[in-house]
Amino acid sequence: MNSNHVVKVNIGGQEYSLRTSADASYIRSVADYINERMKEIDASSPGGFSQMRSLVLSTMNITDELFTERKKKEKLLNRIESKIIAIREYIDDRLSISA
């Protein structure tokens, strides 16, 4: 969807109206994920946390997940690139032997 539209979501008990070009169901799933992470954080403390603390800790955890996945992706891309280089060198060697 190219045009912006407003999607209302509830995060941590607060309603937000977000202007976005993304699909509404996607935006809602993102909000649901944040809410689930906030619930996990709250469950880890007997007295729970304030909404702001819960949101900050959840954001830290989600950002850690993102950074971890980025590192995995970078390592995978580096391995793929190394394999491509090795394959090219192998092909070049075989072609030079045949010539």
Alpha-carbon span 50 to 12, nearest angstrom: 10
Per the structure block, which two tokens stand in for 76?
A: 């995978």
pTM: 0.78
Rounded Cα gap, residues 96 and 99, in angstroms:
5
Q: What is the pLDDT of residue 14?
A: 94
Show me where the domains of the chain are located.
5-98
* Cα–Cα nearest to 6, from 30, 15, 17, 16: 17
- Of residues 1 and 41, more confidence is placed in 41
Q: In this prediction, what percent of the chain has a pLDDT beyond 70?
A: 97
